Every structure is written in structure tokens, then in C-alpha cells.
Amino acid sequence: MTIDDFNFEDKKALIRVDFNVPLNDAFEVTDTNRIEAAKPTIIKILEDGGSAILMSHLGRPKGKANPDMSLSHIVDTVSEIIGVQVKFVPECVGPQVAEAVEQLQSGEILLLENLRFHAEEEAGDAAFAQQLAQWGDIYVNDAFGTAHRPHASTTIVASHFPGRKCFGYLLAREIDAIQTVMETGEKPVTAILGGAKVSSKITIIENILDKIDHLIIGGGMTYTFVKAQGGTVGDSICEPDKTDLALSILEQARAKGVQVHLPTDVVAADAFDNEAQTRIMPANAIEDGWQGLDAGPQTLEAFKAVILQSRTILWNGPVGVFEMPSFAKGTIAVGNCVAEATSLGAFSLVGGGDSVAAVKQFGFEDKVSYVSTGGGAMLESLEGRTLPGIAAIQEG
């Protein structure tokens, strides 16, 4: 059931949101994205004539109350964004909450205190989840960022709402985007995988090989593949103990008919430094004292051709050290290609890791189909794992 199947009139919706937002030294919210992302769900409930009880974590208080991580700091920001003055209780369970919930009227919003002030939250404690469950008639999970954790508020609480639980709009969009890439997307399907190390992406690669037509490999991962195939990588980042794994990935890809595209040239530098000397070198012949830090021009042309003919695109991981302007060009070029393919009708999902930061930094956010809000949750989804927070809703 989707949220649109429910009418929240006179109902209290218990909503797990992800308001784990960054605060500055004055405890002001410095990035409101996560609050804005939850707005459509909250508005739908209020417009139906219901009330919203919001629960979230903030930071890592490790089971103890910590005033620096109180959700009271975000009340004004949430009120401004939603357009309704939010009420706050300095607890998430107990008699004070019971009273505030009892008094809550249709159209009102109540924000509960940081769930992680109680160790029971992350422990997935059943009694704690049962206490939370008392606060709502319907349970709505709209927190993709924590959907991979079997915590009390994300997973365990859902068992108390048989037939009365659903995903919020944000979580539903995340699930749809993953499904499009993994199952229903138009072919050709292309995955662009970058980032530092092959070891952190191996499970993703093995899971998606059955679902894609093209695999573009970039970033630091490149050099383990280059070394595995007998090339020289100079001082580039490389995992020599993973070369067998790299060869096995290439063999699996061949067997499954997936075309693998590795860099043929790279921007090599004589130091890991934005001001370093740079030279374009063949990806498989990097000289000693030099390291590959970005994709080269020939490589980017080849990547462009593949990306532009793709109908479904997954992008995970930058193709260079994009944090340094001297080595950001490759990642920007890939972003431009993904944006162009999207404007030509492709579906593009950017998710799980630093490619999200890159897409935001370089202004591609509105030019791709979907940018995931959950790092770890997206990575686990791409690895093919069932997320406990999602399963808990789907179990009915």
C-alpha cells in the first residue's frame, strides 16, 4: 500500500523521518535538504486532516541524552520549511509524550526528542518500539538513510501496525529509483562505478553484472584492474591483493555479455596535491613517481559515447580525486554526460557515496533523474540486500 491509499483524516501519523541534519556552532541547521525531502509526506497527512508525530535521530549520542544533539535545535527550521509551528517534547517515550500526543489536534505537528538518547533505539529493543508505537494510528517510514538499520523506530515498531503502515513519498521514490535501475529500466543499462577502492565496490559489481549492459570503471579502482592485466601503475592507488578479484570480475562480465570500459589514458600527477605537475599518460604505463588522479581526455570521449547511448544509468563514485580542482574535470565531464543522457530521456540514478557530493558540488542535482538521500542504505540496496526498514513495511 502506498501513502496515497490512506486517508489520514483525524488520524495521528507516527512518521520516522531522517532529520539527522548538520548543525553549526550556534546550533543552526546548515543544510536543510533532509527536512525539505520529508515535506511532501508531512503536508499530505496534514492536508488530509491528520496530525503528524515526527521521530528522528540526530548525531551519535550513543544512548545518552546530550543537549548538543537535541532536536529542539531544529524546531524553528522545520516550522519554517513546513509552514506550521512545530510543537516539541523533550522526550520520545513516557508520560510527557503521552500528554502531548493526547492534546495534538488535526493539522498539528509534534516533534519528539532524539531517539538515540535511548540505547534501546539502536538495539532494536522490542519494549521501546512498543512504547513508540502507542503514539500513532498509522506508521509511516520516510527515512531512507536509516532503512538499512534494524532499529526500534525504523523496523521493529512496524510490527505494531499490521495493515496500517506505509512508506512516505521520499522512501517510495528511493525504492522506485533502485527498482528502475535493477529491474525495470530500459536497455542499454550502464553502471558507472568510481571511487577509491575496488574492495569496497566488489559486492555491488557482482550483484549488478546480471542487470547491466555496460560497466564503466573509473577512479582509483582503475589501477587494480590495470595491474591485474599486466600494466604498470606507478604510485597510483592500487590493491595488489585484489588483482585476482579484478580478473574474476572481468571474466564474469565477459561471460554475462557485459561490456567493460576501463580508462585508456589518465591525468597523472607527481604528487597527491592540487598543485602537482601533471601529464597525460597511458592508463597501463604510468611511470614511477607518478600517480593517476583523474580520467584522461581519450577515456572521457569513450565514456561519453557509452553514456549517451544509455537509457538507464547508475552512477556510484567519482572518476577522479574531484575534491581537488585539478583532478575534478573527469568527474565534471561524466556529470555533463549523465545530464545530457537524462535530457535525451534516459533515467539516471546517482547514489551511494561521494558521487552524490560531487553531483551537488558541481550543480548536476537537478539535471539527473534522482539523487539518493541515503549513502549506506543505497550501497546495501545496490549490493542486493533487503533493507530491514523496507521489509518491515512490505511484510504487511
* Chain contacts with ligand AMP (rule: CB under 6 A): 194-196, 200, 219-220, 237, 292-293, 317-318, 320-321, 323, 353-354
Report H helices in the chain: 33-48, 75-82, 95-103, 119-123, 126-133, 169-179, 202-208, 222-228, 243-256, 297-308, 329-343, 354-361, 375-382, 388-394
CB of 371 to ligand AMP, least distance (A): 14
Q: Which grid cell sits at 23?
A: 548543525
* Dist. CA 264–CA 246, nearest whole Å: 16
Among the listed residues 55, 257, 293, 22, the one whose alpha carbon sits nearest the alpha carbon of residue 156: 55
**Which active-site residues does the annotation give?**
34, 197, 353, 376
User: Residue 50 or 292: which CB sits closer to ligand AMP?
Assistant: 292
Q: Which is nearer to ligand AMP, 46 or 245 (CB)?
A: 245
Nearest approach in angstroms of CB 338 to ligand AMP is 15
* Least Cβ distance, residue 197 to ligand AMP (angstroms): 6
Q: Of 136 and 318, which has the nearer Cβ to ligand AMP?
A: 318
Compute CA 219 distance to the chain's CA centroid, rounded to the nearest angstrom.
Answer: 19
> Could you tell me the smallest distance in angstroms from the CB atom of residue 241 to ligand AMP?
17
Tell me, rounded to whole angstroms, the distance of Cα 193 from its chain centroid. Answer: 15
Residue with smaller CB distance to ligand AMP, 168 or 195:
195
Residue reference for cell 524553528:
76
State the angle between helix axes of 354-361 and 329-343 in degrees (0 to 180), rounded to the nearest 10: 80
What's the closest the beta carbon of residue 86 comes to ligand AMP, in angstroms?
34
Cβ nearer to ligand AMP, comparing 89 with 221: 221
Cβ–Cβ < 8 Å for 44, 8: yes
